[in-house]
Structure 1
Amino acid sequence: MTSSAWYGLLDHRYAQYRKLRAAKVGGMGTASRYAVVACACALICLLVWTAYAGRERLEMTGPQVQLGGNPLRAGSRKLVGEQSPEGARSEGEVGKEEKRAKKASNQKMLGEQQVPRLVQEEVQELSMAERQTHKEAFECDRHSPLTDVCTLQGDVRINVETGEIVLFARDPAILRGPLSVRPHPRKWDYNAMRDVTELRIRAMDAAASQEFPHWECTSHHRAPAAVFSAGGYCGGAFHDFNEVFLPLFQTVRQLARDVVLFVADLKGPWWWRGAPAADTLVGAMTKHRIRLLGQRNDTQGEAQGVQCFERVTIGLRHHLCMYDEFGGLETRSESLAGARLSDFGPFVAAGLRAEVPSPARVQVAEGSTPVVGIVQRRGTRVLANFEAMLASAEAAGYRAVALVLEELRPQEAVRALRQLDVLVAVHGAGLANLALLRPGAVVMQILPYGEWGKGRLVGREYRNLADLQGAKYLEWHVPLQDTSLVDAYPLTDPVLMDPDSVWREQHTVAAMRIYHQQNVSMPEDMFGAYLRHIKKDLVFKEKLRAESADMTM
């Protein structure tokens, strides 16, 4: 069939359909037509009403959705701002009430509103749990590779003479029983920790406190307490700074010296460097008398009894570590410490009333005289040409200060170091005092013969300390001809000819013992050249700071 025939057939069928539809509609009565129209109108009204009702329901359930779907809490929050029985309130009054409700605590707000009793009791239980959690704690943090720190909070009592520490707990969530801790930040070192007392701390039921009359408080303190050990290798400057002074600073600096310090394992009064306890670097960190754990009397000779606190920290946090090995490298961080090493010097200087009238940062103006401190040791690693080096420093345009740190009291050492622009010292424990320098200073470490070499860590701890302090660090390596070892060993001895083999074949302690037993010298002309270069660099940095300040004005 052709396309024209198909189109003719379709037109014929469509004409028949139109006639049939017209006949059916025409046959419908008037009543039927009105019924169809009415049904259509009813359907439209139903759809409109359904949409409107759904919108109202969504608005009413808004607080419930916002509060996470809890109908009880949504209902209680909905009551804030509802109309009072006396009548409707204005929008301004509702807004004021909502502001007051936000400022009030949840407990007070729920007490003022007529909320379901179930919700009220639930919130009261949560509030009580929060208060108990905030008030009582009995836990030890052992994650650090260097130190363990325990926290006791609540009714904490310290029997100072026996060294016992007890928390009388009310919170049933606090596990009763003992914990042990050695409060010294060198826990990886077995030899050092043998000299650190292991403290046993215990949590007991508060009701049991009446059964132990010997736990009756001699004195109550609003200030918190910090307990630490001066055992291990303490007594030398390096270990005093690394394991006591810097960790203690990190632990208590936020307390503005309102902290009571308890020291365990004190080896003797000489640890205070010949000064009263209050006039030491430890005393600079507290405004209270220092207590001595395990002894009858404190540092002022008074009986100590049972001291009671609301919070006690046992052990010291340690993120200002100097050395790289045994976890020091990954632990060292001012951000983790929450403290800057450059704040240590001003902190202890203020506590000792030993600050000197100097800028907070080293500034050497052009034409002024910088100050260099040259450290002379007692015993070994002495500077053989010490007097000549002092004269060379004066000739280079410096004011030279001779420092024998072992003979200085803490206040004197702080004052002397806070005025320096440059510090020069042979490798040794005394270099730990560079933590007291001002940022921007220059540190020159003289490494004795045999202690410098590839792969050796000798002296790196002071480079780390200088970097944290914001000081410029320099090293000078003593050559063979400037060491006294040439007078103690034949030239063919491996100690002189092959130090690497000595360090490789002997124990590290044995190698250190060999190379620590020497005196050294630094040629005066070379020392003067170093100082002139340092002086130019200091003045140049000061010029840059002045120019940048002018540009910003």
Structure 2
Amino acid sequence: MNRQQKTKSVVFAAPTQGARPPIIEKERKIYFLHRVLPLLLLMIYAVGSVLRLTLSSPFASSFVQPSASSSCTNSYCIRLHTCVSLWVCPFGLCSNSISSLVSVEWRKDMEFSLKTQIPAETNHLRAHEEKQHGSPCAALVDGRTEEAAVKIDGLALVCCDRSHVRSDLCYARGDIRTDSPSSSILVYVSGNDTAPPVPAAVERIRPYTRKWETGITNTILEITIRSAHGGRRKVCDVRQEGVPGLVFSNGGYTGNLYHDFSDGLIPLYITAQRFRGEVVLVVAEYHTWWLTRYRLVLERLTNYKLVDFRRDTRVHCFSEMIVGLRIHGELTIDPHLMPNDKSIRDFRTFLREGFGGAVQPTAVPRAQSPSFLRPLQRSSRHDRRQCGNLRPRIAILIRKGCRVLLNRKEVTRACQKTGFDVQIIEPRRGAPLAARHHALASAEVMLAVHGAAMTHFLFMRPASVLIQVVPLGLERPAEEFYGQPARRLGLEYIAYSITPEESSLSKLYDRRSPVIVNTRVVTSKGWLEMKKIYLDRQNVRVNLERFKKVLERAHASVCGPQKIYKPL
């Protein structure tokens, strides 16, 4: 037998000695698939879970950064979906479902962010200051007709001032008639007019004071100001002889106390107060609860019923109209930009007059105390040598959900030991604003953790003290949105910035985590990351020994021989 034949015999002889039958080999492959396939699917799930944690982490990779030009741009959403598909589902098995899941979670997060007081798309969290450019249209809006470099006698006129960061304003003069079904304002040009409306026949405007925030501004009703030449004019159902109309929106962030004032009431005061009541307020996206809440102050701005622009289909006729509101900054009024030098202190007087006048610091009887006011807790120490007959009162505004003052009871006792009567206030959505104003106007000191409720400092009397407890990562917005406006109002402002040990985040993150030791790592990533960590997940427990020094300083300020009041 030669070598080739021996080899063949070995090859054919081997199966008879050690090989498994074909049916056993098939069962072995099936067993292998049952073991390996679940492991493979489990590994894919693990990779997806890790990616989701990364996206929700303060250290999420840079491809999840929102665009600076919008709170939810298409580019952001496309980039987010692409990354999820690439990393979670490399085999294309589930990219659509995972992308949809992350998109839904992101949208829910954005919907909640609309309730906050910080611009949702400005990563730098800066408060833009308005500048007066002195354009002819701006002069007409502000009532400085002597400065307008246009001839207005006998001419129909349409012009818009779009030079400001925060808001657009348009001015119209002539035969003006509303057309709410088409969201339009018609300016008719008569045959006697020698020129068409200036500078254009059609202008479109969203009358809201956060135009730099395109995501929210795009939700505002767009109003078209249109010139009409000839033809049959709409019949006037309501004619306002010699009374201008002022059109503004109540959409957007309206409903949050901070935005109600910063974006709404203060700009409305800036724009309308010069008319001394002789102006008709035309409200787009009108809310009945808004009128109920602010009726007492609105009645001081207009002598007429408010017009619901969207639902009131009657034709309202005017000879002059302003569309949009002037805004100067966060909770502020710049007297240099006002034709009559009004300031934020004049607005405080305006609120006091609207809500029933100055309130003396007397206790509210328990039987008459509103439900959102806790019974007054008397001081356990009263230094007559320092305070005389004055029993200074501190109003503590409490929060629920997030940024809660965890040791409020201990803080209350510390306030009493320092010499304060303590008034606990729980701001509720339905609580009458006049009652809240009375409670704050009766206090010498207000204490609150950073949040929209800080806006109540507008109700305080001159030379009062405002104490803001500033959680980790919120130092800059706390200063820009409340600290600076409080000083302009003439209050003594004290910021109590907590240490990492006083934050509940110290129990959620390692002490060496950048979330704790270097908050800029998170805040530099934008609003969403900052909100998820420092606004939504954080509570505070102040160090009583440190905090007592703040209380003593506030007590000395309101009781000392020289009360601090520095005009700005």
* Same fold? TM cut 0.5: yes
Cα-Cα RMSD: 3.0
Q: Show the counterpart of 1:147.
A: 167
Aligned pairs (5 A) from 1:45-444: 133=153, 136-170=156-190, 171-175=193-197, 177-205=201-229, 208=231, 211-212=232-233, 214-266=234-286, 268-270=287-289, 272=290, 276=292, 279=295, 281-282=297-298, 285-296=301-312, 305-322=314-331, 333-337=334-338, 338-353=341-356, 355-357=358-360, 366-407=388-429, 408-444=431-467
One-letter code aligned to 2:443: L
Report the Cα offset of residue 282 of structure 1.
4.4
Equivalent residue pairs, number: 386
CA change 1:294–1:245 in 2 (3 A) is same
2:281/2:306 contact within 8 Å kept: yes
**Structure 1 stretch 532-541 or stretch 229-238: which is displaced more?**
532-541
Amino acid at match of 1:399: D
Larger radius of gyration: 1
Q: Which residue of structure 1 lines up, in the alignment, with residue 531 of structure 2?
A: 512
Label 1:543 to 1:231 Cα distance change in 2 as closer, same or farther (>3 A): closer
Name the SS of the counterpart of 2:260 in structure 1.
helix
Change (3 A) 1:538 1:355: closer
Change (3 A) 1:451 1:190: same
Q: Does the 8 Å contact 2:266/2:331 carry over to 1?
A: no
State the 1:199 CA deviation: 0.8
Partner of 2:514: 494
Residue aligning to 2:482: 462
Q: 1:458 to 1:510 in 2, by over 3 A?
A: farther
Match for 1:306: what amino acid? V
Structure (1/2) with the larger helix percentage:
1
| 1:400 aligned counterpart, secondary structure | strand
**Kindly tell me: are residues 282 and 194 of structure 1, through their superposed partners in 2, closer, same or farther at Cα, counting changes over 3 Å?**
farther
Q: CA deviation at 1:464?
A: 1.8
Provide the secondary structure at the position in 2 that maps to 1:406. coil
Offset of residue 542 of structure 1: 4.6
Which consecutive segments of 4 or more residues in structure 1 shift more than 6 A?
none
Give the counterpart of 1:484 among 504, 507, 525: 504
Deviations along 1:148-183, whole A, 9 cap, x unmatched?
Answer: 111112322223454321222343234272111111
Amino acid at match of 2:306: I
Structure 1 residues 353 and 162, CA, compared in 2 at 3 Å: closer, same or farther? farther
Q: Is the 8 A contact 1:162 1:293 kept in 2?
A: no
Instruction: Report the CA distance shift for 1:429/1:281 in structure 2 as closer, same or farther (over 3 A).
Output: farther
Distance 1:434 1:491 in 2: 34
Any unmatched runs of 5+ in structure 1?
1-128, 297-303, 324-331, 546-553
Amino acid at match of 1:264: A
Tell me, which stretches of 5 or more residues in structure 2 are unaligned? 1-148, 363-385
Identity %: 25
Say whether the 8 Å CA contact 2:156–2:188 is kept in structure 1: no
Contact 2:204 2:225 in 1 (8 A): yes
